[in-house]
Amino acid sequence: MKIGILTSGGDCPGLNAVIRGVVLKGTTNYNIEFVGIRDGWRGVVDGDFFPLTRHEVKGLSKVGGTILGTSRTNPYEGPRGGAENIAKTLYGHRIDGIIAIGGEGTLAAADRLSNDGINVLGVPKTIDNDLRATDYSFGFDTAVNIATDAMDRLRTTGDSHQRCMVAEVMGRHVGWIALHAGIAAGAHVICIPEVPMSIDEVCELVNKAHSRGRAPLVVVSEGFKLTGMEEAFSDKGLDAFNRPRLGGIGEVLAPEIERRTGIETRATVLGHIQRGGSPSAFDRVLATRLGLHAADAVVDGAWGQMVALRGTDIVRVPFAEALGELNTVPQYRFEEAAALFG
Amino acid sequence: MKIGILTSGGDCPGLNAVIRGVVLKGTTNYNIEFVGIRDGWRGVVDGDFFPLTRHEVKGLSKVGGTILGTSRTNPYEGPRGGAENIAKTLYGHRIDGIIAIGGEGTLAAADRLSNDGINVLGVPKTIDNDLRATDYSFGFDTAVNIATDAMDRLRTTGDSHQRCMVAEVMGRHVGWIALHAGIAAGAHVICIPEVPMSIDEVCELVNKAHSRGRAPLVVVSEGFKLTGMEEAFSDKGLDAFNRPRLGGIGEVLAPEIERRTGIETRATVLGHIQRGGSPSAFDRVLATRLGLHAADAVVDGAWGQMVALRGTDIVRVPFAEALGELNTVPQYRFEEAAALFG
Amino acid sequence: MKIGILTSGGDCPGLNAVIRGVVLKGTTNYNIEFVGIRDGWRGVVDGDFFPLTRHEVKGLSKVGGTILGTSRTNPYEGPRGGAENIAKTLYGHRIDGIIAIGGEGTLAAADRLSNDGINVLGVPKTIDNDLRATDYSFGFDTAVNIATDAMDRLRTTGDSHQRCMVAEVMGRHVGWIALHAGIAAGAHVICIPEVPMSIDEVCELVNKAHSRGRAPLVVVSEGFKLTGMEEAFSDKGLDAFNRPRLGGIGEVLAPEIERRTGIETRATVLGHIQRGGSPSAFDRVLATRLGLHAADAVVDGAWGQMVALRGTDIVRVPFAEALGELNTVPQYRFEEAAALFG
Amino acid sequence: MKIGILTSGGDCPGLNAVIRGVVLKGTTNYNIEFVGIRDGWRGVVDGDFFPLTRHEVKGLSKVGGTILGTSRTNPYEGPRGGAENIAKTLYGHRIDGIIAIGGEGTLAAADRLSNDGINVLGVPKTIDNDLRATDYSFGFDTAVNIATDAMDRLRTTGDSHQRCMVAEVMGRHVGWIALHAGIAAGAHVICIPEVPMSIDEVCELVNKAHSRGRAPLVVVSEGFKLTGMEEAFSDKGLDAFNRPRLGGIGEVLAPEIERRTGIETRATVLGHIQRGGSPSAFDRVLATRLGLHAADAVVDGAWGQMVALRGTDIVRVPFAEALGELNTVPQYRFEEAAALFG
């Protein structure tokens, strides 16, 4: 059997650990031959493959990024795209199936290709933890650790200067990173996309922490929807999420908090450092196990499914289960954390 | 309502985060009054209490160890021990119940006290992850991160000198730390208490890695049972686990691997650094959530139970469910990892 | 003898270690009584003092920020400012002298106060390493470690996506953080205030790295002067350093690199995380030693001087030596690093 | 010109950064051809060389260990050893000179070979910082950071259990790692080879810290000479340093402290984790600069010398200056730190 592996979408700590897990289990236990597919679906469409042996995946569990490269190409677009062309390309290279490691877009494409007769197996990848059907996805724990460490640092500056510190973290549609890093770092305000808040509510929490003698620490997901600022933003142009088009939400929030509360306030946008570098042990274990089980699933012919974490077990779920609705932060999880705000 | 909190047994990253979670939720939402109990059950027996307010738990989510102190005192021993005396002591201080954060011994004592009429609620604590009834316990993730980081370091020395490196990690009865750190760091041999191996088997795996050009990396739980060495050890005196009484198992294993394989081999015993210091973000979140839910459970009068993690939820389980049998590494989890040994 | 200690200006990892070093040495060896001065010169002017004993500085060597608080107050301003008023305030509290831990502004004020008859001793503090007269200042090593770690992370994202990654680091007037973090992380372009470069030169280096198959990594000091962009910026408003007023230089550079080279480019502004949190071991040792020697200097009556690092020794230098000219990156140090750009 | 590079003796974080610095500068600026020499002097003697291009050193500044391998071979031993044979071997491969990265033994051999007419240039390498003629050597800062981090962790366990924690760190002949990590972590006792102490003196300091309510933290170099224990050790066999032959000094010290003070005491031997893994930013910068300057020195024909750090400058010194006497901790540096013990 000959199997291609691809990584698609934004990079994420643990991608290489998945690849290593698949290849070690597949070659040693099942005698599968693997090829790496370059730059996600782009490599499928272009037939851009290279041999992937035990040697290539040596020492990869700790290495961030992806040795396969990645892109946001849609496999149904372009002159060589579409299920029929792809089937020909794979047949031409005698590739029996594809393991696609990616997020919602990738898995949706994988689902469609699967329905169109291509053998595809999925491994869920989302640093935001926004996929249903898996309790956690690799990369998320690393991102939360990085954000927590950064906020621990911001806190000492806040305390020294009696400032309010605002940290903007990843999370365009879901607030898991902000929620977990906020709990871990002891934030006084956690602003997530699932729970729109007005600038008044934010400032009230800031003032509450300040009145207890604390330097307020605010964590905000990039996709947080701030309400009550429409007028103020009207001259700057608003984007689809009702946010000003210039700068991130953290950079909008900070001066407004300062203006309204009188507390000196500074914003830091963590940005790309949250998704790079060596994965945490949790993510290495999760990613490796997903890879090992993906090799099993290939041998079982479990095409059209993806491997996922449930409790402490790795299970298989149909693509459809993972798609459609995002894994948002439920209201009770936000309220649970809100008890910490005081 | 007035509630005492104690931490008992070996320290563990996250203890302070639990305490903070309990106190923040309990004081803010439920108006509970808390007292800290010094040094575990010792403080209960001696009536050694002090007020524990919001102020005392400030900034604690990131602080290792326990501000309450800890001991291995058994509450049923000594002249002031036993349920009857303890009931009097608690009544004398108007303490309505105890939140006991501890491992198997602590929870067994809590169960017995609960059966004897004392209001006790449990929070599971085990750095080895050896308690059933909770998917993971706080401190474990931190320990695995520390062990993984140490093994990442050992690997570069192994590679530079073409040596076999042996890392001994915690785990007297269960091998979870060795298993997870071994997977994360890419160990070539994982030796855990649940799976006794002969020195021949260990050396075979070492030779296998070496023959592929790798510097063999071996991780061994302190409670690993090495077989086939009885004769060699007979002059050194054996302990109950069939191990020589001098030094840890890592220090026994390393020279024997070197003698049999001819590969220069060095052991490192990680020891206490695995249980100290600032908790990982995962452990801070888990510990904080357990604390928040413990405050809820107190209000609900859920005495005789403990809070626990199941999947992504915090649930309540009777003490009995957590006791009796250890949460050992199941055979299939070991075999899963063994695919990585090649 | 009774001595006041103050920290002034931006916070910096190691401030607390200096305070601890002064207090431990001064109380134990010399029987000095210490008072903490709140919020820098503000506390001197306002007479805002509190007792600072051995107990208060317990465990501080690893704690970021400053327990004394800090501000940017000028001691010569305000109705209670000026040498005469300050002398009265100090005399009123029987304070014999001040240890002022701060940067150029602080040391200049200290120098003037010293000339006006106030006993002041200085400890140099600059996270940018911009003070002459000390080989290194505490905080700098920590900042370089944080920036290096961040750039290590950015690199994996760059490699996975074949992107150019731009990291903006601290350094308004001098480029030491960019230089050292750039060398440490293997940057392909290092842009510092001391060496203005045109956008063409930057893009040439980016292209050079790209043509060797590398994902270009660019580090840029916040005070870097980009030339050849005047026209493009003219509609955005320029600040004193010829930079657009909106966003940092990193956010200006990235889109321009992308536009000119065609290589997808992303900027990350590290911001405040570089100056917070626990100091590196190097900074803890340096800060502690400066504190210990400051206590000695007080006993020797070495007012009007500051303690400083020369090679491996702590020495005393007059304020004047540290002032006037900044410790800029010399041309030969930049050229030395430029050999790495290829 | 064709130059060979070797690494010799124990591995050390920064070796790869030196190699990268040499190769980048040498190939780009001077058009030198490099070969890697496998396993130190062993590879010189055996003629075990391989091409070392820009490509091979890609990304190496952050990678621990040495890609060249290392050994403790003496180039004057064995049938193919000695200056005459080596001259022939080098001539046979048209190698014009050797850059030897190593410690005292390596540099002594390099000096002798140099005197015997072989072109050798040295780069000092000692994780213990025991070489004169360089202010600091790379690897030392990383080791101190690792030891400090470990001691930060041990402290929380000590505090929670009111235990004395003993950390044994590297330093067979000099105590720099213990001194710096001890200062950084706030140790209450620092035991170094340069300052023999009796068990009574150690226990007095332990008791002093304990009486102030602190959990005593003791750091001890592996080469520390404990006096006053001769009798107790007489039945165990003593080594040349008057220490028992079984276990490290930390494991000897801990039970004796516990026996004499009555304070529960635990030892941790940090061992090999101190010398592996990714170098700190300081070490990357230092190692890279040494490499860059070594390339310059080769071009200048500065054979018989080594590059070294003085203050902030890289200078050249004759081998002889670095040899003979070790860079021990001077008495005044120990006394400086002793002020912290209280």
Could you read off the pLDDT of B171-218 as tens digits, one per residue?
999 999 999 999 999 999 999 999 999 999 999 999 999 999 999 999
Classify residue B198 by its DSSP letter: E
Summarised one tens digit per residue, pLDDT across range A86-105 is 999 999 999 999 999 999 99
Q: Is B116 a catalytic residue?
A: no
Residue C240 pLDDT more than 50? no
A275 marked as binding residue = yes
Question: Is the distance from CB of D107 to CB of D100 less than 8 angstroms?
Answer: yes
Residue B60 pLDDT more than 70? yes
Question: Is the distance from CB of C181 to CB of C219 less than 8 angstroms?
Answer: yes
Helices then strands, each counted (H, E), chain D:
12, 13
- B128, B130, B141, B283: which one is catalytic? B128
A340: nearest CB among B24, B141, B144:
B24
Arithmetic mean of pLDDT, B264-283: 96
Q: Report CA-CA distances (Å) from D134 to C137, D123, D194, D314, D328.
A: 20, 10, 19, 9, 12
Indicate the annotated binding residues of B for ATP. Answer: 10, 72-73, 103-106
Question: Is the distance from CB of B216 to CB of B342 less than 8 angstroms?
Answer: no
Q: C153, A160: Cβ pair inside 8 Å? A: no
Kindly state the tokens that stand for C122: 């200085």
H-type helices in C11-82, by residue range? 15-30, 41-46
Phi, psi of B304 (to 5 degrees): 80, 10
The structural domains of chain B, with segments of one domain joined by +, span 2-138+277-322, 143-274
Comparing A240-244, B204-208, C97-101, C185-189, the range with the smallest average pLDDT is: A240-244
Beta strands in A163-293 (DSSP E): 164-169, 189-191, 197-198, 217-221, 226-227, 265-269
d(CA A39, CA A33) in angstroms, rounded, equals: 20
How does DSSP assign A66-110, residue by residue? -TT------TTSSTT-SHHHHHHHHHHTT--EEEEEE-HHHHHHH
Smallest CA–CA distance, residue A250 to chain C, in Å, is 13
pLDDT at D324: 82
Question: Is the distance from CB of A13 to CB of A139 less than 8 angstroms?
Answer: yes
pLDDT at C178: 98
Q: Report domain D140-274's class.
A: alpha beta
**Does C312 touch chain A if contact means CB atoms closer than 8 Å?**
no
What confidence tier does C236 reach under pLDDT thresholds 50, 70, 90? low
Kindly state the tokens that stand for D86: 């080596």
For chain A, the 3-state helix, strand and coil shares in percent, each to the nearest 5, are 45, 20, 40
Q: C69, A277: Cβ pair inside 8 Å? A: no
Indicate the annotated binding residues of B. Answer: 10, 72-73, 103-106, 126-128, 163, 170-172, 222, 266, 272-275
Classify residue C177 by its DSSP letter: H
Sign of CA dihedral C337, C341, D5, D8: positive
pLDDT at A324: 82
Domain D2-139+277-322 has CATH 3.60.20.30: no
- C128, C130, C141, C283: which one is catalytic? C128
d(CA A197, CA A191) in angstroms, rounded, equals: 7
Kindly state the tokens that stand for A113: 């290709």
CATH topology of domain C2-139+278-322: Rossmann fold (3.40.50)
Q: D281, C312: Cβ pair inside 8 Å? A: no
pLDDT at C323: 87
Summarised one tens digit per residue, pLDDT across range C78-136 is 999 999 999 999 999 999 999 999 999 999 999 999 999 999 999 999 999 999 989 99
pLDDT at C244: 47
Choose the CATH number for B143-274 among 3.40.50.460, 2.60.40.10, 3.10.150.10, 3.20.20.60: 3.40.50.460
Run of H or E residues at C160: helix C140-161
d(CA C79, CA C69) in angstroms, rounded, equals: 22
A228: left (phi over 0), alpha (psi -120 to 50) or beta: left
CA angle A197, A252, C231 (to 5 degrees): 155
Q: Chains near D, with 3+ CB pairs < 8 A?
A: B, C
Q: Report CA-CA distances (Å) from D158 to B7, D178, D216, D249.
A: 15, 18, 7, 19
Domain A2-138+277-322 has CATH 3.40.50.450: yes
Q: Is C326 exposed, middle or buried (CB count within 10 Å of its CB: 0-12, 13-18, 19+)?
A: middle
Smallest CA–CA distance, residue A276 to chain C, in Å, is 4
Instruction: Report which of A108, B244, C188 is spatially closest to residue C178, judged by C-alpha positions.
Output: C188
pLDDT at A320: 86
- Residue of chain B whose alpha carbon sits nearest to that of A214: B58
Residue C246 pLDDT more than 60? no
What confidence tier does C27 reach under pLDDT thresholds 50, 70, 90? very high
Residue C310: list chain D partners with CB under 8 A: 311
Average pLDDT, chain A: 94
Phi, psi of A317 (to 5 degrees): -135, 145
pLDDT at B48: 98
d(CA C267, CA C218) in angstroms, rounded, equals: 9
A31 Cβ contact partners less than 8 Å away, ≥ 6 residues apart: A1
d(CA C134, CA A157) in angstroms, rounded, equals: 24
CA angle A154, A160, A166 (to 5 degrees): 30
What confidence tier does D243 reach under pLDDT thresholds 50, 70, 90? very low
Average pLDDT, chain C: 94
Global pTM value: 0.96
Residue B64: list chain A partners with CB under 8 A: none
Same fold, B2-138+277-322 and B143-274: yes
Kindly state the tokens that stand for D26: 């040498």
Count of B-D CB contacts under 8 Å: 105
Classify residue D210 by its DSSP letter: H
Q: Report CA-CA distances (Å) from D66 to B156, C212, D10, D107.
A: 8, 24, 10, 18
Smallest CA–CA distance, residue D257 to chain C, in Å, is 23
Q: Helix, strand, or coil here: B159?
A: helix
Question: Is the distance from CB of A13 to CB of A125 less than 8 angstroms?
Answer: no
Q: Chains near C, with 3+ CB pairs < 8 A?
A: A, D
**Does A15 touch chain C if contact means CB atoms closer than 8 Å?**
yes
Task: Tell me which of C136, C144, C288 to substitute to probe the interface with D (most D C-beta atoms closer than 10 Å).
Answer: C288
Q: Which residue has the tokens 């200078």?
A: D315
d(CA D304, CA A249) in angstroms, rounded, equals: 60
Smallest CA–CA distance, residue C228 to chain D, in Å, is 28
Q: Is D303 exposed, middle or buried (CB count within 10 Å of its CB: 0-12, 13-18, 19+)?
A: buried
Task: Report how far apart the first and last C-alpha atoms of chain B are (Å, whole number).
Answer: 59
d(CA C146, CA A152) in angstroms, rounded, equals: 13
Q: D292, C339: Cβ pair inside 8 Å? A: yes
Q: D184, C340: Cβ pair inside 8 Å? A: no
Listed by number, the residues of chain C in 203-232 with a beta carbon closer than 8 Å to a beta carbon of chain D are: 212, 214
Residue A232 pLDDT more than 70? no
pLDDT at A289: 98
d(CA A210, CA D161) in angstroms, rounded, equals: 34
Average pLDDT, chain D: 94
Q: Report domain A141-274's class.
A: alpha beta
Q: Chains near A, with 3+ CB pairs < 8 A?
A: B, C
D183: nearest CB among C145, C148, C284:
C284
pLDDT at C162: 95
Mean pLDDT: which of B283-297, C217-231, D223-237 is highest?
A: B283-297
Task: Tell me which of D140, D183, D217 to substitute to probe the interface with C (most C C-beta atoms closer than 10 Å).
Answer: D183
Task: Report how far apart the first and last C-alpha atoms of chain D are (Å, whole number).
Answer: 59
B157: nearest CB among D65, D165, D247:
D65
Arithmetic mean of pLDDT, D97-121: 97
Q: Helix, strand, or coil here: D205?
A: helix
d(CA D69, CA B158) in angstroms, rounded, equals: 10
**Does D150 touch chain B if contact means CB atoms closer than 8 Å?**
yes
A181: nearest CB among B24, B148, B281:
B281
**Does C268 touch chain A if contact means CB atoms closer than 8 Å?**
yes
